[in-house]
Amino acid sequence: MNQPSDKLNLDRLAVVLVDTRNPLNLGAAARALSNFGFEHLRVVRPYEPSFREARSAVGASELLARAKEFASVPDAIADCTFVVGTTAAHNREMRQPLHGLDSAGQLIRSHLQKGRVAMLFGSEKRGLSNADLAHCHCLVRIPTRIEHGSMNVGQAVAVCLYELIREGGARPAQLEFGVSASQADVERLTSVWLDALRASGYVPSGGGGTTEEKVRRLVRRLNFQTADAEVLLGMLRQIVWKLHANEKTDAGH
């Protein structure tokens, strides 16, 4: 019989439901995690009455009771080293690598060997926003029809988790890796990077929302190791310091 293997480190995967409104979908997602041997459900900005209702439903799982609530996507994924967004991906202008679920499964299994992985699912109506997607290292599309691409959240979670544990699932590729930078590191890097762009005039002061998303995506796409992230952070801090120091000297005259 196929039993989810411990070797897959299933307890390192966090399923993150963003802006979920329907309590039945919260319950269904929790049930799929339990069916397939996963443990960590996180919810971002749930519709509060739904979240309460789902937790208190008859037969609500212990897993749902333990689900952690977060105010934002960055908070929910702060301890994760690899972040995957799910998308219907037909009309979006994609900036990140887009994988079929099959190949995303292999990637995720490899990353689970090394650290925490987050898998993001968007709201029933709109899916993940561009701002949420900007936090993802890659996107995954479940191979639904173009004419009817949008899945029910509970079903999408079940299908994705099945893909991760299915028998015959390709064994995790051995990636030659150091330690991937955590999302907190990556966010720090993004932030200092943006400071440098603002101080240099690349981003007009006050504006820059688009650039912010652009930088956030770029930093994630580059998939930094911890050591590299630290080096780059040091470089950028020096650049920001110098840009500001020059300004002050300038203003001082």
Residue ranges in 155-194 that form contacts with a copy of itself under rule CB under 8 A: 155-156, 158-159, 162-163, 165-170, 172-177
In whole angstroms, the minimum distance from the beta carbon of 114 to a copy of itself comes to: 17
Considering the complex, state which of residue 118 and residue 165 has its C-beta at the smaller distance from a copy of itself.
165
Minimum Å distance from CB 142 to a copy of itself? 7
Q: How far is the CB of 107 from a copy of itself (least distance, A)?
A: 10
Of residues 4, 47, 78, 230, which one binds a copy of itself by CB under 8 A? Answer: 4
Question: In b/e form, how buried is each residue of 157-167, taking b as 16+ CB within 10 angstroms?
Answer: bbbbbebbbee
Nearer Cβ to a copy of itself (168/209): 168
CA–CA dist 236, 158 (Å, integer) = 42
Contact 155, 113 (CB under 8 A): no
> According to the binding rule CB under 8 A, does residue 99 interact with a copy of itself?
yes
Residue that is written with structure tokens 């997602």 in the block: 29
* Residue of the chain from 197, 212, 216, 220 that contacts a copy of itself (CB under 8 A): 197
Cβ atoms 54, 89 nearer than 8 A? no
Residues 6+ apart with CB under 8 A from 243: 196, 199, 200
Task: Pick out residues in 129-148 that bind a copy of itself (CB under 8 A).
Answer: 141-146, 148
Nearest distance in Å: CB 7, a copy of itself:
14
- Judged by CB under 8 A, the chain residues 13 through 52 that form the site for a copy of itself are 24, 28, 31-32, 34-37
Token reading at 204: 């007009």
Of the candidates 134, 44, 118, 120, the one whose C-alpha atom is nearest the C-alpha of residue 82 is: 118
Taking alpha carbons only, the member of 180, 216, 224 closest to residue 80 is 180
In the range 61-90, which residues lie near a copy of itself by CB under 8 A? 89
| Residue keyed to tokens 């603002």 | 198
Determine which residue in the list 2, 71, 91, 204 makes contact with a copy of itself, applying CB under 8 A: 2
Please identify, using beta-carbon distances, which residue of 2 and 71 lies nearer to a copy of itself.
2
Could you tell me where the DSSP H helices lie in 37-166? 48-56, 62-65, 73-76, 101-112, 130-133, 153-165
Closest CB to a copy of itself among residues 72, 144: 144
From 76, 81, 224, 233, residue interacting with a copy of itself (rule: CB under 8 A): 224
In terms of CB distance, is 2 or 206 closer to a copy of itself?
A: 2
Choosing from 199, 212, 216, 233, the residue that interacts with a copy of itself (CB under 8 A) is 199
Q: Which amino acid is at 233?
A: L
- Give yes or no for residue 205 binding a copy of itself (CB under 8 A): no
Strand order in the sheet with 82-86: 68-70, 40-44, 13-18, 117-121, 82-86, 138-141, 98-100
Question: In this complex, which beta carbon is closest to a copy of itself, that of residue 84 or of residue 101?
Answer: 101
